[in-house]
Amino acid sequence: MDRNISKLFRKKFSPRSLGIDLGTANSLVYLEGEGIVLNEPTVVAVSFDDNRVLAVGSEAKKMLGRTPENINASCPLKEGVIANYRITEAMIRYFIRKILGPHFFKPEAMICVPTGATQVERRAVLTAALQAGAKSVYLIDGPLAAALGAQMSIAEASGSMIVDIGGGAVEVAVIALGGVVVHNSLRVGGNKIDEAIMSFLRKNYNLIIGDQTAEEIKIRIGSALFLDKEEKMEIKGRDSFLGLPKSMELTMTDIVKAIKPVLMQIVGAVKDVLEETPPELARDIIDKGIVMSGGTSLLRNLDQLMTQETGVPCFVAPDPMLCVIKGVGIAIENIDLYKGSLTKR
């Protein structure tokens, strides 16, 4: 009987490892033994009066662009790295407590970071997680986690190429023998596409719209290539000259023109990596193709644009928005296999 109680106690109260994907747009958490247990927007609302965190995730996102002067709702990560250390720490603490409860044993945590992150940026992630309640922290490179989550065979000598396009950054990497051989990190992603749409509308139609409207436009009628069938959408905003509410009909052709410069930057980052890839690995990539992950890879026809521009077949991984966190989960469940690719503190 005592043995059964002991087993139950260990199962319920022993600390389990957490995997965290701190994305510019969305943050996801993986709990060892259970899978993905949290998927929230990376938004935090803070009161200026007492510096108190009022809301995190979905509740905070509802406040974007709608807050009074004493409340600020914002994303604490910019271009894939921490922009506001204190708020990021509060957000990680919120995630840990929401999953493990208010009274928890300090867990081990594994957090995904961009390959191009500086040592200062990596240290900021480590310190924020430790201050938030983690016992120890592992860091895993984003492309490696994305490749694991996309079920790519990264341990083989054969080369594989992953392009992870998130809200704030693009991570391009060629992986072989369990490590990154060539990589490139570009701080351009879905948010830059939204900004391009906002800038285009202001410049060409004198219409000012918010971030959430731009994202809705991108999802509904956004495309990387022109289509035979035109699509339209009615949008509402504010006239930049008169300052009054204004509505208009927007076409897909407008959006393709607006976002093309940003997409070509992403294509350029992929070409740079291909140019630096050793010939033997380049041959493998031509045979296997380029795998795309991340939420922005879901933009219509982006894979076709990539194929046209690089000459290499390109396709989107299954569940592209979950590839990174799934990869972090695989690394957690098989920590001994991947210790050589991780940073620990």
Binding site listing for ATP = 24-26, 215-218
Instruction: Work out the number of other CB atoms within 10 angstroms of the CB of residue 101.
Output: 8
Displacement of CA 44 from its chain's centroid (Å): 16
| Backbone phi and psi for residue 8, each to the nearest 5 degrees, phi listed first | -60, -40
Annotated binding-site positions: 24-26, 215-218
- Rounded distance between C-alpha atoms, residue 3 and residue 13, angstroms: 15
Displacement of CA 3 from its chain's centroid (Å): 44
* Largest CA-CA distance found in the chain, in angstroms, rounded: 78
CA nearest 281: which of 149, 183, 139? Answer: 183
- Rounded distance between C-alpha atoms, residue 202 and residue 240, angstroms: 7
CA nearest 306: which of 321, 326, 288, 292? Answer: 292
- Rounded distance between C-alpha atoms, residue 182 and residue 175, angstroms: 7
* CB-based contact 328:19 (threshold 8 Å): yes
Positive or negative, the CA dihedral 242, 243, 249, 253 is positive
E strand or H helix at 187: none
DSSP state of 321: G
